[in-house]
Amino acid sequence: MQNIEKTSRQVRQFFQLLYFLIPAITILFWVFASPDGSIQMAFGLKQMTLTPGVRFLGALASLLIPNGILLYGLHQLIRIFKSYEKMEIFTLENVRRYRKLAYILFAWVVGREIYNALISVILTMKNLDYHVVNLSFTTQDLVVLITGCIVLVMSKIMIEGHRLANEEAHTV
């Protein structure tokens, strides 16, 4: 039992670290991004102007859409592992959190598409020649959707585990 508590604490602390590092790294990326280096590599776009306004909009879009979804997912994982530290495993609250995680994974795929389209418009809005709207569905998106389905099934299994734990607790 102590092993579960210790491992859960370590995993929770790692997720808490990520919860604060991800927005900081995103802001630093947009502050120090160069149009011919990191932006071109990250987004595959050429001929863009990185004015302070474009940097601000890029950072805002990054923080709101993909990071917002990711941070909400990390928040749910932190809460799950915090309950595991207390040895609260098959609880109704954890079932809800797993279900939320599944929906967060689905939202990640949709949000990523919205973000890709939005960021490509933001990065090419100063171009007089052309504007780009980038949409793509990748194998990574398919893997995330499949993982979301698996987590959704796990939440249903957790409901059954909760029911069995409840029955055991009330058996005389």
Residue pLDDT, tens place only, 28-62: 888 887 766 556 656 665 656 678 888 898 899 99
User: In angstroms, how far is CA 27 from the centroid of its own chain?
Assistant: 16
Taking the model in full, what pTM does it have? 0.84
Report the pLDDT value the prediction gives residue 18, as an integer from 0 to 100.
98
Rounded CA separation 42/25 (Å)? 14
**C-beta separation of 67 from 23 below 8 A:** yes
Closest by CA position to 104, among listed 158, 68, 58: 68
Query: Could you tell me which residue, 50 or 113, shows the higher pLDDT?
Result: 113
Rounded CA separation 153/59 (Å)? 35
Query: Could you tell me which residue, 93 or 47, shows the higher pLDDT?
Result: 93
Report the pLDDT value the prediction gives residue 136, as an integer from 0 to 100.
82
Most confident of 10-14, 89-93, 128-132: 10-14
Query: Could you tell me which residue, 20 or 48, shows the higher pLDDT?
Result: 20
**C-beta separation of 132 from 122 below 8 A:** no
**9 pLDDT higher than 80:** yes
Query: Could you tell me which residue, 84 or 124, shows the higher pLDDT?
Result: 84
- Look up tokens 């795929």; give the residue: 109
